[in-house]
Amino acid sequence: MRKLTSIIAFAMSIAATDVVNAQTKQNSNRQQNPYTLVYEGAITENVNGKVNIHPVTYKLNGIDIAANIYTPANYDASKKYPAIAVAHPNGGIKEQTAGLYAQRLAEAGYITIAADAAYQGASGGEPRHTDNPTSRTEDIHGMADFITQYPGVDVNHLGVLGICGGGGYTIKAAQSDKRFKAVATLSMFNSGEVRRNGFQNSQLNTIQERLQQASNARAQEAAGGEVIYAGVASITDEEIAKTSTDLYREGYEYYYRTYAHPNSTFLYTMSSLFDLMTWDATTNMDLINQPLLMMAGSKADTKYMTDEAFSKAINAKNKELFLIDGATHIQTYWKPEYVSQAVNKLIDFYQTNL
């Protein structure tokens, strides 16, 4: 255990250097990009008559949550607007793809919210980078709590969009939260299934071993010891090139190179597996009775998770599986032609069902 902790600590020291470098770059761009958004076409200043961004904080179960609200062009607080909560991917934050989709939907006339999950990004909570499925699901309920109190929001016309891991947590949240009148996912990732079985069921033979590691990590934390982290702290270009799966190779490029942000990380606490490995996004999918849209790239190596969830949503109203032709999982986060396909489909879906 001591050796593993030393390895993790060394990896995190490398990550810290990466973060400092990213922060230096971010600070140099702050005057041009004061909201630290790292997606194409991001807002750099609020202009009258256009979509505006409003950084906010609120409490959720005693933890400070950092979020961005996007309001439509010519927003008038005395009017009523439909609203959409956007849940970010695993490792992601509100300044990346969640913000991109929130902004694009605001351009279509919706008030939107993208929030950093508790323990992650700019939100509070210790230990950092905890990925607890109950907490991540509660984050989505919390966005509904906050946005339904926001001036101009029509509480009877609230939708939700979950991306990647946020998609898995979104379909879980929507099972009980009927404030969400229309439910959509993009490149849905079932965090419980993957942490338990491995990506594409590649770790079925080591489930018990990994559960023991998670148990040991929790015991160490409970005794006041050092937090152990799983995941990838930093990665070289050569290592990225040698990664065989599109999801992880393109994910490393997205999070560590092209759309890097100092608040984003591929790390999560080893003790998170304690809860993740016994959780599954698709349990009780029959409880979703709202309209459901699930979108995935036709070439995504994660598509099997969307297929599994969609088949179990037997009571969802007007449910639809929409394939983005030619797209991989990560390409739906940023590539303009694929983002536009997804946004256009979302607008049609929300206009019909909200």
Distance of CA 339 to the CA centre of its chain: 16
Q: What average pLDDT does the chain have?
A: 92
- Preceding omega of 127 cis (within 30 degrees of 0): yes
Q: What is the largest CA-CA distance in the chain?
A: 60
Identify the pLDDT of residue 31: 53
pLDDT tens-digit readout, 272-295: 999 999 999 999 999 999 999 999
Beta strand ranges found along 116-241 (DSSP E): 153-163, 180-186, 229-232
Identify the pLDDT of residue 82: 98
User: For residue 32, what pLDDT band results from cuts at 50, 70 and 90?
Assistant: low
pLDDT tens-digit readout, 141-188: 999 999 999 999 999 999 999 999 999 999 999 999 999 999 999 999
Q: Cβ distance 123 to 66 under 8 Å?
A: yes
Asked if residue 6 has pLDDT above 70, the reply is no
Identify the pLDDT of residue 33: 81
Report the 10 Å Cβ neighbour count for 6.
Answer: 11
Task: Kindly list the domain boundaries of the chain, sorted by start residue.
Answer: 48-80+97-232+262-353
Rg (CA), the chain: 19
User: For residue 233, what pLDDT band results from cuts at 50, 70 and 90?
Assistant: confident
> What's the CATH code, domain 48-80+97-232+262-353?
3.40.50.1820
Interatomic CA distance for residues 200 and 197, integer angstroms: 8
pTM for the full predicted model = 0.91
The dihedral sign for the CA sequence 106, 108, 111, 116 = negative
Q: Which segment of 3-7, 53-57, 212-216, 273-277 scores lowest on mean pLDDT? A: 3-7
The values of phi and psi at residue 85, to 5°, are: -95, 135
pLDDT tens-digit readout, 87-146: 999 999 999 999 999 999 999 999 999 999 999 999 999 999 999 999 999 999 999 999
Identify the pLDDT of residue 312: 98
